Amino acid sequence: MDKQLNNTFGDMNLRDKIIKTLSSIARINGKVFDENTLIREELGIDSLMTIEIIAKIEKHYNIQINEEDIIDVNNVGDFINIIETIISEK
């Protein structure tokens, strides 16, 4: 099992924090993917891993993400956009 993700992202911006979370759960170096990277087909992130990512971001930003909104998200960039929108509407 992973040790708990260190929630101290330091001075990272939102984009980098999300990529770090995706990278940690997908176990793929965050430097090899970008905003066009497909979450399922290229990062191999399945539904349970998606839930873990959602939970960690929710906890860090104290927001609630509707899982149904994430189902149709294809790439990293779209995922970041949704999170940005939720945070800005908070």
Nearest to 26 by CA among 2, 60, 7, 4: 2
Which residue, 4 or 88, has its beta carbon nearer to other proteins? Answer: 4
The correct pick among 6, 11, 31, 68 for binding other proteins (CB under 8 A) is: 68
Q: Smallest distance, Å, CB 51 to other proteins?
A: 5
Task: Show Cβ contacts of residue 41 under 8 Å, excluding neighbours closer than 6 positions.
Answer: none
Q: Is 3 helix (H, G, I), strand (E, B) or coil?
A: coil
Q: Which residues bind other proteins (CB under 8 A)?
A: 1-2, 4-5, 38, 40-42, 44, 46-48, 51-52, 54-56, 58-59, 66-68
